[in-house]
Chain A
């Protein structure tokens, strides 16, 4: 079962790309292999009558028809892919305007940890690197960086955004299931990059509200 809205979306689009990629590969590779096997040099094979001769310009060969067919077939496939991608782009880049109270967090990347700040101002230092969110709600994150270029990604959620100093990027998702997921940095940001990990804790709505209401506002 898919763990988030973003995973559902990624899986369907990745599926479309993969099916078309496999189809195209099968056609192109069978053509390549068929030609190599069929027209390899055998004692019985005919000497082509247009073999290039040293010092002479080779005879020109080939039809525009082949180009037209290749380009039009490819264009059809590519247009399908573009249309598929556009829907997903709109969805990813149009975060919901209104999310529940406690569902819009600030994410600040540091060398080499993640700092999460909640709408009520809570910045739980004891639990930095842990992002708690309720299941079944739209979650909106404003991602930025306090030092260098990082990239905020949630493994399994198939969602990412760059954490850039002086800039805020928005990312949003809708968790389907409770559980723990790994947050990781995806841009080489220094010696601690490999260990720059955090945890996304997707909690039941009741557990989340209980935790959220208990946090102290600094």
Chain B
């Protein structure tokens, strides 16, 4: 018995197989999803009654921050890369990723950094200033807890993990495709992963620089971000240069999955697949010149403001192409509304709502009223949960038989879908409340 346990533990500890690591990624990120969900539910309980005393202001701020960081870094991306690990080698016809040991190392860095992030609660206080970690509140003077340093360390480790795995996928997808499989023959999911990797490669260095300098500020008393001479705006710029592409980094894999699921269940090829892929590339490129829309109210000047309004509104064009192509795929189809298809179509519907309200926030004139309100909260939860998470859950059902060798229960899946649909009720109310 003990012998068997050791054998199986050894398998999962020492594995370098892409399928095993994919499963590890999926399971770990689902656990962290549960952890982030508990934080969210506790916060909503606190907010359910006025002057509730369930959480102190201090703890509440820690929950807000760690919920956001966990969801963005340790749930959305790893869930997507769990699928990528498992599926990409199968879809492009290679035996494993280019560097299997590096792949295993990425996973363990991801796991340990996630644990570190959660442990930060127990070292004074977890980061407590929102996931954007604005300067100068992130300075030791305002947030002295050791837990914050632990959280910053966790973010650095996570970026290391992401960098290792993006190089791994990049080499695999360029060098190890089955003979004759041209890049343009790949379906949208591998393409979405490829575009995501490029965005990671260009966005994360900015974030890494920000967090490393922040760490140095906190540990050794430098003044990169705590300086009153523009420290705040420096943080804003380096953070959001990464921050906007990051939204697409967590969204594109889900779009890829949706664009694979819908044709399967519609039993027709994806409408205009090369335009969808082109649109992904275009959106990825534009995503690097829109970060100023997060700084509209910081006083960046009239010209920059107008420029970022135009680029941000323009970035919605590629997404229009994607949505329309996904809808047109259903034309003259024979659509089976099984669980994965329901989740995929639900994600499209949510994405339309989230996308349209995003255009509101692209206009600086409206930002002057909407900044910092629940309108923004509702918008990005529609994108991050409504589109990304729902799309990824569609992927979970879609590939469940492939990964486990058994079929999921269609009834349970449909109940799951209808309960997920209720989030719409929650977030749409938030849009309305925001204007109240």
Nearest A-chain residue to B435, judged by Cβ: A14
Contact A62/B316 with A92-B368, A93-B305, A165-B136 known, Cβ cut-off 8 Å: no
Which residue of A51, A59, A61, A169 is within 8 Å of B299 (Cβ)? A169
The answer to whether A58 touches B269 (Cβ under 8 A) is: yes
Q: Count how many pairs of residues, one from A and one from B, have CB atoms less than 8 Å apart in the complex.
A: 244
Interface residues of B in 311-347 (CB under 8 A from A): 313-314, 316-317, 320-321, 323-325, 327-328, 330-337, 345
Instruction: Tell me if A167 counts as interface (CB < 8 A to partner B).
Output: yes
Does the CB pair B273–A60 fall under 8 Å?
A: yes
CB <8 Å contact, B275 and A67: yes
Is B10 part of the binding interface, using a Cβ–Cβ cutoff of 8 Å? no
- If over half of A's interface residues share one DSSP class (helix, strand or loop), that class is named, otherwise mixed; here it is mixed
Q: How far is the CA of A164 from the CA of B235 in the complex (A)?
A: 12
| Closest B residue to A25 using CB positions | B356
B263 in the interface, Cβ–Cβ < 8 Å?
A: yes
In the bound complex, residues from chain B placing their C-beta under 8 Å from that of A166 are: 227-232
Q: Is A19 an interface residue (CB 8 A)?
A: no
Nearest CB in chain B to that of A161: its residue: B297
Residue A113 is within 8 A (CB to CB) of chain B in the complex: no
- Of B75-83, B155-163, B357-365, B412-420, the one contacting chain A is B357-365
A14 to B365, CA, bound (A): 9
Q: Is A71 an interface residue (CB 8 A)?
A: yes
A186 in contact (CB, < 8 A): yes
- Distance from B319 Cβ to chain A, minimum over Cβ atoms (Å): 9
Is the Cβ of A39 less than 8 Å from the Cβ of B324?
no
Instruction: Mark each residue of chain A from 36 to 55: 1 if its CB lies under 8 Å from any CB of chain B, else 0.
Output: 10011100011110111000
A40:B335 contact, CB within 8 angstroms: yes
Q: What 1/0 mask marks residues of chain A from 60 to 86 whose CB sits below 8 Å from any chain B CB?
A: 111110110011001100100110111
Contacts of A10 in B (CB 8 A): 365-366, 368-369
Q: Please tell me which stretch of A120-128, A188-196, A207-215 contacts chain B, meaning at least 4 of its Cβ atoms lie within 8 angstroms of it.
A: A188-196
Say whether A160 faces chain B, with CB atoms less than 8 Å apart. yes
A103 interface residue per 8 A CB criterion? no
**Chain B nearest CB, measured from A74 CB (Å):** 5
User: Provided the pairs A35-B327, A62-B275 are in contact, do residues A51 and B371 lie with their beta carbons within 8 angstroms?
Assistant: no
- A45, A63, A67, A158 — which one has the most chain B CB atoms within 10 A of its CB? A67
Known: A81-B363, A82-B313, A166-B228. A148 touches B136 (CB 8 A): yes
Q: B269–A50 contact, CB under 8 A?
A: yes
Asked whether B297 lies within 8 Å of A160 as measured between CB atoms, the reply is: yes
CB pair B136–A158 under 8 Å, yes or no, is: no
Contacts of B271 in A (CB 8 A): 61-62, 66
CB of A129 closer than 8 Å to a CB of B: no
Interface residues of A in 139-162 (CB under 8 A from B): 147-149, 151, 153, 158-162
Closest to A9 in B: B365
C-beta contact mask, B226-269 vs A, less than 8 Å → 1, else 0? 01111111000000000000000000000000000001101111
Residues of B within 8 A of A191 (CB): 56-58, 61
A17-B363 in contact (CB<8A)? yes
Which chain A positions have C-beta within 8 A of B231?
165-166
Measured between alpha carbons, how far is A36 from B327 in the docked complex, in Å? 9
Q: How many residues of A contact B (CB 8 A)?
A: 77
**Residue A2 at the chain B interface, CB threshold 8 Å:** no
Shortest A87–chain B CB gap in Å is: 8
Q: Is A6 an interface residue (CB 8 A)?
A: yes
| Interface assignment of A200: CB less than 8 Å from any CB of chain B | no
- A40-B335, A186-B371 are known contacts. Are A89 and B365 too (CB-CB below 8 A)? yes
**Interface residue from A50, A71, A148, A162 paired with B321 (Cβ < 8 Å):** A71
Determine the chain B residues whose CB is within 8 A of the CB of A93 once the complex forms.
301-302, 305
CA of A21 to CA of B278, assembled, Å: 25
CB of A39 within 8 A of CB of B185, answer no
Choice from A35, A41, A61, A70 contacting B320 with Cβ under 8 Å: A70
Task: Contact check, B335 vs A149: say whether CB atoms are below 8 A apart.
Answer: no
How near does chain A come to B372, taking the closest CB pair, in angstroms? Answer: 3
| CB–CB A151/B273 < 8 A | no
In B74-106, which residues have CB < 8 Å from any A CB?
Answer: none
B42 CB-CB contact with A under 8 Å: no
Give chain A residues whose Cβ lies under 8 Å from the Cβ of B324: 28, 66, 70
Question: Can you give 23 contacting A-B residue pairs, CB < 8 Å?
Answer: A25-B352, A35-B331, A39-B330, A48-B268, A58-B187, A60-B274, A62-B271, A64-B275, A70-B320, A84-B363, A85-B309, A86-B306, A88-B365, A89-B305, A89-B309, A92-B365, A149-B134, A159-B369, A160-B371, A170-B299, A189-B137, A191-B57, A194-B57
Residues of B within 8 A of A (CB): 56-58, 61, 64, 129-130, 134-137, 142, 185, 187, 227-233, 263-264, 266-275, 297-299, 301-302, 305-306, 309-310, 313-314, 316-317, 320-321, 323-325, 327-328, 330-337, 345, 348-349, 352-353, 356-357, 359-360, 363-366, 368-369, 371-373
